[in-house]
Amino acid sequence: MVDVPKFDFTSYDFVSPMSVGGRSGTNYSEYCYRGPGRLVQRVATAVATQGQVLPITPPAVNSSWKLDFWGPSLSCSDITGADRDDILASVYDYLADGTRCFQSYGYISWVSAVNNSLPFIAQNDTYVLQSNGLTFNRQAAIHVAALPGLFDNQVAFATHTLTGACMMWDSNRRVVNGTIDGVLSYSEASTDTYLGQTRLLRCEFLNASYVADFKFVNGAQTINVTRDVSSESRSLVPADCVNGPTALATGGCFQAAIAYQVNTSCSTLNPVGETCIFNSSLVRTLSYQGIADAFGQLLQGTVGLGDADLSYPEVTFDSNIKKAFLLDTDELSFIQTWQKNSLFLDIASLSEISNGI
């Protein structure tokens, strides 16, 4: 019998060190979540970049084993009906501005706040994108919008180019047919011309059961994974601050928490501040949310078409999705090919010219 790699979600290695002090800095039994652990971030980035399970070291070059375990999962569904209409209205309201429209977001990903799932919220007489990160003490979910219509419908003028977003809201510049014999062709296009192709997804983080079959033949790795998202699967509800062993402050410095527990004969870990109550499921929740947060940080943010200072748009990334293989999906392929399909500029890449295209 030999040991094989296993999952251990009942450890603190999946999250950044949770220093004592709490949100106030003076609560010596409160520990707050501060993000995913560094190793988790590295693995999440590597997996997202390569689009496959990373290679692992087997106990022997020819070996096989099976693991049954519970772990974090992502379940996505289309946003439809009134929720879709509200989100697209939020996008329209944000971009209905002579400066902001030049951002012309073709991709938006955000985490909804409590009681508000819209991407943009009003703040100080303007709109801002919902803040990144986890929303604590409610179901963890991330929203994704792919808006190819805001990349496609652009028109070049003598001194500048109007992006799809600017064309969408400016009723005097709704040019959808480009040029015909050098003459601009105008028409009153509906908002659906720009937002009708939008794909909206809501992806929820769940606790699901897995069966993973590992097989190595001469060191070559094959892994078959089946996932069961059933009625037993529970939503991930991220924890913010938890109550743990008390650490006393002496002379402004924290002493070892283990040596100064309130009661050294018991262990404490729970979200409600009770002594000698250890909630093992809370450790797994922290591990799961560290993984969910690491992958969420790769998705959240925006991809747009530059700003008003540019004579013609350039793709600008305010999201780490540029590192992920997801840009190769059908829904987001327009981000990489937008120059070839644009109305205002016919640019051939070096590879195209070299291939005689």
For the stretch 58-69, pLDDT in tens is 889 999 999 999
**Which of 5, 2, 1 shows the shortest CA–CA distance to 223?**
5
Query: Which of 5 and 181 is assigned the larger pLDDT?
Result: 5
CA angle 311, 166, 98 (to 5 degrees): 80
Out of 266-275, 292-301, 326-335, which region has the weakest mean confidence (pLDDT)? 266-275
pTM metric for this prediction: 0.84
Predicted confidence band at 138 (pLDDT cuts at 50, 70, 90)? confident
Out of 44-58, 259-273, 329-343, which region has the weakest mean confidence (pLDDT)? 259-273
Radius of gyration of the chain (CA): 25
Out of 22-31, 78-87, 135-144, 244-253, which region has the weakest mean confidence (pLDDT)? 244-253
Look up residue 178 and give its DSSP letter: -
Statement: residue 342 has pLDDT above 50: no
Out of 158-167, 168-177, 179-188, 219-228, which region has the weakest mean confidence (pLDDT)? 179-188
**For the residues 165-185, what does the mean pLDDT come to?**
59
Look up residue 137 and give its DSSP letter: T
**For the residues 281-293, what does the mean pLDDT come to?**
93
105-125: b or e for each residue (b if 16 or more CB lie within 10 Å)? Answer: bbbbbbbbeeeebbbbbeeee
pLDDT tens-digit profile of 32-91? Answer: 999 999 999 999 999 998 888 888 888 899 999 999 999 889 889 999 999 999 999 999
Pairing outcome for strands 27-32 and 20-21: antiparallel
Out of 35-39, 294-298, 345-349, which region has the weakest mean confidence (pLDDT)? 345-349
**For the residues 330-353, what does the mean pLDDT come to?**
67
